[in-house]
Structure 1
Amino acid sequence: MDRGGEIPGSGDVREVLVAGGAPETLAGKVAETLGEHAAEALREDPWQLLAVPGVRPDQADGFARSLLGPACEPGDERRALALTGWLLERAALEGHTALESSALRDALAKASVPDPDEALRTAIAEGAVLVFQDALDAPAGARPRAAEDEDAEQPVRVLLGLDRYALAEESLADGLARLASTFAPVQDGEAPVGDAEWEGAAAAAPSASAAELIRTVAAHGLVSHSGGEAARAEPAALVAAARAMGLRAYAAAHTEDGRRRLAAALSEAPGTGPEAGPEADPDEAPEAASAAVTVAGLLAGAEGPGRDEEGALALDLLAVLDAPQLDVETAAMLVESLPDGARLVLSGDPGVLWSAGPGRVFADLVAARRCPQVVSRTPDPGPIGELVSGIGIGELSQVEAPGKEVVIVPVRDAGEAVHRTVQLVADSVPRAIGVPPEQTQVITPGHGGAAGTRALNAALKDRLNPGPGRFGGFDPGDRVAYTPAPGRTVQGTVVSADAEGLRLDCAGTPVVVVREEVGELVRHGWALTAHQAAGARWPAAVVVLPGDAAAGLTRAWVYTAFGRGERHLSVVHGADAALPRAVAEIPFKDRTTRLRALLQAQVPPAPTG
């Protein structure tokens, strides 16, 4: 940066932005996105403004008209290229790693591109997008192909994607294939048998499901493990057993809260040492605490074993819990970091929401059936566990809750939903359940709307920590959600603010967010979306379902939100019949990805039975 912290080139960029009628405040983002020659790039191609986060096509079109005058046309090749990239980036925000060519063509037509087919041909020729052909599955009930049909062309779908996500997905598939081939199972149907140490660990496992997981991991380099909250004890038992055998074994969770719960499970697992019992604080059990990490901390080198001289993680076994929250780029970095000969277990609840970033890594791995799959038989206990288990199979049932573990609060409109939510958090739950406001999490479908996170957080701040918001809308004591990277939410509390920025306490870790980034990276955190809450749990959860959110509900959303409360769940219900309909009929919002097809092309089917 130059003097005053200004990004080099942003002064020239301001001149171009003003000439095109765009806000000067975009100068920093434009210079950061397009580089030191940003001003020259915008003069040559005004539609490159679309590459800047937050800029819409209509804004880029207006900017181009101001700069180009009569020469600005909707069929301009530069416009079509920029729109193609923008549409694929937009799709990535919705979880897709690629789009079917027909979907992208239709989107370009809606954006008034006169010849979408020609636009796509140009984008492919210019290398702006990559093209793939993935084989389609045979329809259910279709007859097997006869020998004389084997030379016939197999149906394929044509996908288009950005190289960023294509390379990540292909790298991930290669890495998973490498791990899957590390410990090849015995042929001719003979079951693979672990050595005496592994078998002894399985025999001492705390449950049949944990024993099955240990035996499976003994013979395979890549294993998927599915189960709910209670099933987290099984990969914990695996890691504890592996460490007792002298292996460098670690377990990684999605959030700091998940890490703490994982450390507690490790401290209770057999073989973690006499200092760690059921009553132990995970942070006071060194062995358990050191084996439990977050994915982000592991990759950054801030937690876990560090890296060896070749740059690989210095470990023999890694169990990744909350695996559905892995986006394709994070998963690729993780798998690329594993040394040859390491074992990887991807463990998670298949009913929860997929990652905030692009991809559906865990779901694709399970669907590909290219590694052994261990399905836990350990149910989640209590009324909340019973309710959530039913949702997972598409049934929304009333459950007996003698201790008010589950409470339904009907409301007529969003205003009443906000009022009742504040009442629950501040008064009812502390009085009836004994859970204080700071241990209760509000979850709602989105940020906007009359009962979204913004409205709820404003009302909750006014009740729980009123103040003038002296620093960017925040005051000491405010509960916040900090986003250090896209798709990653860290909860914290505002401690103070000074010239350096906003000072937060994030689960005991001090964080300073510089003044310029506070508005972008920090939100109030009494209310979160379900994506932000995934991977964490609280003693009590209040789930808000306003009527205007009905269209976006899915079974996965309801399953995730309802499962965040450990002792208590209140549902502020204004969605009427949309809630049971979503649970019964809308499992998830589908995503277009390539990982399943890539794995099926590279790895032989996993043994069954």
Structure 2
Amino acid sequence: MTVPSPGAPPGSPAEDRDTAVAEESAAEPVAGADGGADGGGAEGAGGEGAEDEAKSAEAEAAQLSEAQAEIAAQRELRARIAQRKAEKEGPVPAGAKLSGQAADLLAAVRAMESGQAAPAAPVAPAAARAVPAAVDAAVPAQNRPRAPEPARAAPAAPTTAPGVVAAVGAVLADGGAPAALAPQVTAVLGERAGDALRADPWLLLSVPGVRPEQADGFARALLGDGCGPGDERRSAALVGWLLERAALQGHTALAFPAVRAALAERSVPDPDEALRHAIAEGAVLVFQDGADDIGEDAEDGTADGEGAEGAADGPAAPVLLGLDRYALAEESLADGLARLVKTTQEASWDEAAAQAPSPSAGELIRAVAGHGLVVHTGGEAARAEPVALAEAVRALGLRPVVAAHSENGRRRLGAGAVTVAGLLSGAEGPGRDADGALDLDVLVVLDAPQLDVETATTLVESLPDGARLVLGGDPGVLWSAGAGRVFADLLAARVCPQIASRTPDPGPLGELVSGIGIGELNQVEAPGKEVVIVPVRDAGEAVHRTVQLVADSVPRAIGVPSGQTQVITVGHGGAVGTRALNVALKERLNPGPGRFGGFDPDDRVAYVPAPGRTLTGAVVSADAEGLRLDCDGVPVVVPKELVESVVRHGWALTAHQAAGMRWPAAVVVLPGDAAQGLSRPWVYTAFGRGERHLSVVHGVDQVLAHAVAEVPAAERTTRLRTLLEGLLTPAV
């Protein structure tokens, strides 16, 4: 048995998630999981149709008891949410008005300021009997407060007693797994990881990168004949693994039949009993949003209610399974957004709206004047409208903050803008008031499609009473790398004003990308070589032409230096993935021995401080503290022990990594094996990254036009829209 070494390569939470031919995610899709986040469909899932018809009567009887278990779990969840809401509404001492992740952050900040030990952050286990994860701080690394310093330090690797790691290494060795995995196992399972693994070897599945067949081999080596495919420990771990894996694909929950079918494919002899056990143990929560209770209409557990024959009210709401972590985040986010919608704003900003630079900006100003939550949609040129809003708000004596997803996006907005991560950590922006809320009156968040559900929850929980929130972005781009589709769900719920910009992106590039957004791949006139198509026949030619474009053609013909041209491709692996392209581009543009852990000064890099967040920059130097980078003007120090896992060369990125960023020129590479990974949002995102020039290395023939016209965004199973519609009346 081979178990991967610790430290997944940097990028999105799932390596190669941008492509349907990804080495891992496409090989093992979650059955019936709506195709994953970016095109990984359910292969051979079979679903209910794959079950033997002779077992259908028995299955229906079993599902009745399933529904009873689901009812109890649903009631328990609702009681927890009701208690949480009651705590919000009850009297609280000063400084305790926040809840959830925002309250954890405030508690950690105050503990650090007073010199006390930071409180332990709650960590949702992968299974009910899992050992709580060891936490080296009270908040995620990207949210920890940082004192001002010349260079930003990357999050330090968690420290654990050497004896604990050695003990875990011994258990791993007994099970045939590499001892090098011990630090990662200990970080996930905690100080008692060694004992926990001996008692339940399938806990190894809670470590990122470990696959079920590897955990099975590890369990057989430790337990011998004492384990089998029906072991309750195995089935509970598999349920947690399936849902965690679905979260990497963007889902916050999965339909009941999808999980059941996936367990059957993993040779679980009785998937129904396995799910009953997982629900009883608290490893998974069950929901049927949009219904008062889980009743007879949903007893069959189908995702679309087809089993509810003759139901007077139409199809039953789907029965969903989810992890506590994402369930509470979506519940809290829905509650917070509803609070903003219900907040009465009676200001009159007509004069400011009349002086706005464009009609769309004026419309946005008027909407924000009267509402606590407003959604703004548009392309790159439309970003000027929320900026104009902020300027108008400031002139009225209020305190606005404009936040972008990335350092690249922040830089394009000009002085005063912040990143979402910097705002939440306190490293950027106004800081927090005495109650722990963000010290602002209006928060404008651009690149909102990149907000995952947990980040969005933290933002909303951090807003002070009476604040206004504007979420702006382009609905055509790829969704967040993390779980959820917050922006899309909020648009679909239609519970607040939606201002659509009428400011088009200019020039041939703007015309091309606008057409893609409505499903049309048009030929555009590009007299200044704004758009160039470079046909290629195979992978070798694609790599050669890409290097030639970046190193010679674009600088010579367009006047954009190589350092300002970004290559975008479908995935990390393969003959024309980011790895292969970065090797070729480094050899041509900055050859060197890689004396700093594989890097040389002036190497372009992609630094991933947290899953789903990519910073682009260049290597400056290295010393005893680590690798020193310049990320869009922000100095960063990456500790040497983290370099291998969070930094890779960055001449070439995936479209997911590039979302929310732009460069003077972009070279989009579409080799023949990329066809399955293409969709309209992918093409729209990739083609829109160039400000002045776009070169397309084209090797997919008519597949590109087909993807633009016929392949929409792969669906994600989420609950936010339904929750919002239950709390608020959708606007007509």
TM-score, structure 2 as length reference: 0.75
- Per-residue CA deviations over 1:424-479 (Å, capped at 9, x if unaligned) read 00000000000000000000010001000000000000000111112221111110
Which residue number corresponds to residue 235 of structure 2?
A: 80
CA distance in structure 1 between the aligned counterparts of 2:312 and 2:676, rounded to whole angstroms: 45
Counterpart residue number, 2:604: 479
What amino acid does structure 2 have at the position aligned with 1:316? D
CA distance in 1 between partners of 2:161 and 2:210 (Å): 21
Answer whether contact 1:7 1:28 (CA < 8 A) is retained: no
The code of the aligned residue for 1:160 comes to L
Paired residue type of 1:92:
A
The answer on 1:354 being equivalent to 2:479 is yes
Match in the other structure for 2:63: none
| Aligned pairs (5 A) from 1:120-519 | 120-135=275-290, 152=313, 155-183=316-344, 194-195=347-348, 198-263=349-414, 289-290=415-416, 292-519=417-644
Identify if the C-alpha distance between structure 1 residues 3 and 599 changes in structure 2 by more than 3 Å, giving closer, same or farther.
closer
Deviation of 1:515 (Å): 1.9
Tell me the residue number matched to 1:116: 271
State whether residues 536 and 564 of structure 1, in contact with CA within 8 Å, keep that contact through their aligned partners in structure 2.
yes
SS of equivalent residue, structure 2 residue 555: helix
Ranges in structure 2 where 5+ consecutive residues have no aligned partner: 1-135, 137-156, 292-309
SS of match in other structure, 1:473: coil
Contact 1:481/1:524, CA 8 A, preserved across alignment: yes
- Partners of 2:601 and 2:347 lie apart in 1 by 55
Q: How far 1:256 sits from its partner (Å)?
A: 1.0
1:135·1:154 contact (CA, 8 Å) conserved in 2? no
**Would the aligned equivalents of 1:481 and 1:490 in 2 still touch at CA under 8 Å?**
yes
- 111 and 407 in structure 1: CA distance in 2 versus 1, 3 angstrom threshold: same
Change (3 A) 1:556 1:153: closer
Which digits, 9 at most, give the CA deviation of each residue in 1:540-561, with x for residues without a partner?
A: 0000011111001110000000
Q: Report the Cα distance in structure 2 between the residues aligned to 1:152 and 1:225, rounded to whole angstroms.
A: 35
Query: 3-state DSSP class of the match of 1:168?
Result: helix
Query: Residue 143 of structure 1 aligns with which residue?
Result: none
Could you say which residue in structure 1 is the equivalent of 2:90?
none
Q: Which residue of 2 aligns with 1:188?
A: none
The superposition leaves residues 341-384 of structure 1 with CA deviations (integer Å, 9 ceiling, x where unpaired) of 10001000010000011110000000001111101111100000
1:500 Cα deviation (Å)?
Answer: 2.3
Give a deviation string over 1:373-412, Cα, whole Å, max 9, x none. Answer: 1011111000000000000000001000000000000001
Structure 1: distance between partners of 2:709 and 2:577: 24
Question: How many correspondences in the alignment?
Answer: 559
Bigger drift between 2-11 and 398-407 goes to: 2-11
- Mapped partners of 1:7, 1:312: distance in 2: 39
Shift of 1:498: 2.4
- Looking at structure 1, the residues matched to 385 and 420 of structure 2 have their Cα atoms a distance apart, in angstroms, of 19
CA–CA distance in structure 2, aligned partners of residues 210 and 582 of structure 1: 33
Aligned residue identity for 2:545:
R
Partners of 1:7 and 1:31 within 8 A in 2: no
1:558 aligns to 2:683 (yes or no): yes
The letter for the 2-side match of 1:25 is: A
CA–CA distance in 2 between the matches of 1:113 and 1:447? 33
Deviating runs (4+, > 6 A) in structure 1? 1-5
Contact preservation (8 Å) 1:8, 1:36: no
Aligned amino acid, residue 202 of structure 2: W
Residues 97, 359 of structure 1: 8 Å contact kept: yes
Give the Cα–Cα distance (whole angstroms) in 2 for the partners of residues 3 and 549 of structure 1. Answer: 38
Partner residue, 2:709? 584
Post-superposition offset of 1:41:
0.3
Q: Does 1:64 pair with 2:64?
A: no
> 1:7, 1:301 → 2: CA distance?
33
Structure 2 partner of 1:269:
none
Deviations, residues 486-525 of structure 1 (Å, cap 9, x unaligned): 0000011111222322121112222221222111100100
The offset of 1:3, in angstroms, is 13
Amino acid across the alignment from 2:506: P
CA separation in 1, counterparts of 2:312 and 2:459? 39
Q: Distance in 2 between matches of 1:510 and 1:233?
A: 27
% identical aligned pairs: 75
TM-superposed CA distance for 1:6, in Å, is 5.2
Cα deviation, 1:197-241, whole Å, max 9, x if unaligned, reads x11100000111001000011100001010000100111111100
Distance 2:161 2:193 in 1: 14
2:418–2:429 contact (8 Å) kept in structure 1 = yes
Q: What letter corresponds to residue 232 of structure 1 in structure 2?
A: R
DSSP-derived class of the 2:597 partner: coil
- Matches of 1:556 and 1:605, distance apart in 2: 26
Q: Distance in 1 between matches of 2:566 and 2:649?
A: 12
Greater relative contact order (Cα < 8 A, sep 6+): 2
Matched residue type, 1:12: A
> Normalising by structure 1, what TM-score?
0.90
Q: Return the letter of the residue paired with 1:522.
A: V
Q: Distance in 2 between matches of 1:352 and 1:412?
A: 28
Q: Does the CA contact (< 8 Å) of 1:194 and 1:215 recur in 2?
A: no
Conservation of the 8 A alpha-carbon contact between 2:409 and 2:661: yes
Report deviation, 1:576: 1.2
CA 1:3–1:182 in 2, change beyond 3 Å: closer, same or farther?
closer
* Matches of 2:318 and 2:650, distance apart in 1: 42
Counterpart CA distance in 2 for 1:573 and 1:203 is 47
Tell me what 2:111 maps to: none
Q: Distance in 1 between matches of 2:314 and 2:501?
A: 40
What per-residue deviation string (whole Å, max 9, x for no partner) do you get for residues 29-62 of structure 1? Answer: 0111000000000010000001011111111111
Instruction: Decide which of 650, 672, 675 is 1:547's aligned counterpart.
Output: 672
